[in-house]
């Protein structure tokens, strides 16, 4: 912003630059404060806590020890929830992608006048408590409804959906789908339709057009959406608790146990830090992978 307005040939420009810098600072200040107070500070506290020890009656007592991390890393059963979370979050992200992409594409390109109605329908569920929406899946998937119907169809009375990892996966996809759809919708809506027509004119089939035109254009929204859904899924704890009957034990659930059932804040903090590291690593890898593929394709287009 400052660069755009600064023209260093007159005296008044210098004044306006200072003014502009001041304005920039003033505008950034609230968000900077927000970032500092709600992101950097808690992160710092968690990191400091993770090197502490549990106070005799629970909570945090200052110390400097690596015991929390060592205990976590040397016990395979304490690492198990990390991997379960990772698999479920990846599965959930892919699920959101497969459901979300066609949906976003349809709303952006085919819905016409119904566009805003459809967008509204996607948003309305968000007005209800997340917990109540998850509880309602208990009924939909329960043995009186879908679960029972499928059990009857396949003739296995003990078949159930609830309490399986599939129920958790379904809950994850349902719960986070809009976060995936909106970024993709925005990029798809801005897409120049003539590019698709051009592709067809040049003899590309539907699949080739999708792969070489639509998908690369959607990619920024797709990446944003994936990250938006992946990160909260890694920390999810309500869905496995309700739809998974506590049988799918994710990182979020292990964290709750550390803070609630044993009041061991330092150990819980160590888990949280490790979770952040795992997410940072996964997301960076993902972004690197996506960008790498993109450069190659651009080169091939050239």
Partner 1 sequence: MAESLEDILRRVAQNRVPRRSFLAAAGLLGTGAAIAACSGATSTASATASALASAAASQAPSVAPSVAASASAVASETASASAAAPSFTYPPVGDVEKQLFMYNWSDYINPKNIDKYKAKFGVEKFQYDTFANNEELIAKLQAGATGYDIIGPTGEYVPALRDGGYIQPLDKSRIPNWSFNAAFQDTLWDPTNDWLMPKDFGTTGILYRSKFVTEPVTSWQQFSDLIKGKYSGKVVFVDSMGDVMVMPLKLIGKSLNSVEKADLDQVRTMLLDLAPHILALDSDTYQDKLSGDKPEALLCLGWTGPLALMRKDPKSADIKYVVPSEGTLYWLDVWCMVTGAPNPNASYAFLNFIEEPDIQGDETNYTGYGTPNDTAKQYVDPTLLNDPAVFPPADVMKNLEGAVDTSSNQQRIDIWQEFKSKIGG
- H or E element that contains 193: helix 193-201
Rg for the chain, CA atoms, rounded: 25
Give CA–CA dist 283/149, Å, rounded.
Answer: 39
CB closer to partner 1, 44 vs 139: 139
- Residue tagged 């960076």 (tokens): 284
Is-contact 121 109, C-beta < 8 A?
no
Q: Residue 274 CB, nearest distance to partner 1 (Å)?
A: 14
For partner 1, which residue of 17, 115, 143, 294 counts as binding (CB under 8 A)? 143
* DSSP string across 24-71: HHHHHHHHHHHHIIIIIHHHHHHHHHTTSEE-TTSBEE----SHHHHH
- Is 54 one of the binding residues for partner 1 (CB under 8 A)? yes
Which residues, in sequence order, are bridge partners of residue 72? none
Q: Residue 64 CB, nearest distance to partner 1 (Å)?
A: 19
- Residue tagged 């080739």 (tokens): 208
Choices 40-48, 116-124, 209-217, 234-242 (CB under 8 A): range interacting with partner 1: 234-242
* Binders of partner 1 in range 73-112 (CB under 8 A): 75, 77-78, 80-81, 84
Report residue 57 as tokens.
């009656």
How many residues bind to partner 1 according to rule CB under 8 A? 48
CB closer to partner 1, 119 vs 238: 238
- Is 278 one of the binding residues for partner 1 (CB under 8 A)? no
For partner 1, which residue of 259, 266, 272, 273 counts as binding (CB under 8 A)? 259
Q: Which residues contact partner 1 by CB under 8 A?
A: 54, 56-59, 71, 75, 77-78, 80-81, 84, 129-132, 135-136, 138-139, 142-145, 158, 160, 163, 165, 238, 241-242, 244-249, 253-254, 256-264
């Amino acid at each position: 912003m400052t660069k755009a307005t600064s023209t260093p040939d007159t005296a008044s420009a210098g004044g306006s630059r200072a003014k502009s810098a001041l304005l920039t600072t003033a505008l950034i200040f609230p968000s900077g404060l927000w970032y500092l107070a709600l992101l950097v500070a808690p992160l710092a506290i968690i990191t400091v806590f993770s090197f502490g020890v549990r106070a005799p009656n629970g909570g945090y007592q200052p110390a400097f020890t690596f015991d929390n991390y060592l205990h976590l890393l040397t016990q395979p059963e304490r690492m198990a929830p990390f991997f379960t979370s990772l698999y479920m979050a990846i599965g959930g992200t892919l699920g959101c992608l497969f459901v979300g992409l066609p949906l976003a594409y349809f709303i952006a390109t085919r819905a016409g006048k119904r566009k805003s109605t459809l967008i509204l329908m996607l948003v309305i569920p968000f007005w209800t408590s997340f917990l109540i929406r998850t509880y309602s899946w208990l009924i939909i998937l329960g043995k009186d409804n879908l679960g029972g119907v499928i059990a009857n169809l396949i003739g296995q009375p003990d078949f159930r959906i609830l309490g399986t990892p599939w129920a958790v996966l379904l809950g994850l996809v349902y719960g986070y789908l809009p976060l995936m759809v909106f970024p993709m919708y925005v990029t798809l809506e801005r897409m120049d339709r003539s590019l698709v027509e051009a592709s067809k004119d040049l003899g590309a089939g539907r699949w080739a057009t999708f792969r070489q035109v639509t998908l690369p254009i959607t990619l920024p929204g797709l990446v944003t959406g994936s990250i938006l859904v992946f990160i909260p899924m890694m920390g999810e704890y309500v869905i496995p608790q309700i739809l998974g009957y506590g049988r799918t034990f994710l990182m979020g659930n292990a964290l709750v146990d550390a803070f609630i059932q044993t009041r061991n804040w330092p150990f819980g903090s160590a888990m949280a830090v490790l979770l952040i590291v795992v997410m940072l690593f996964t997301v960076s890898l993902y972004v690197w992978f996506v960008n790498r593929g993109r450069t190659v394709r651009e080169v091939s287009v050239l």
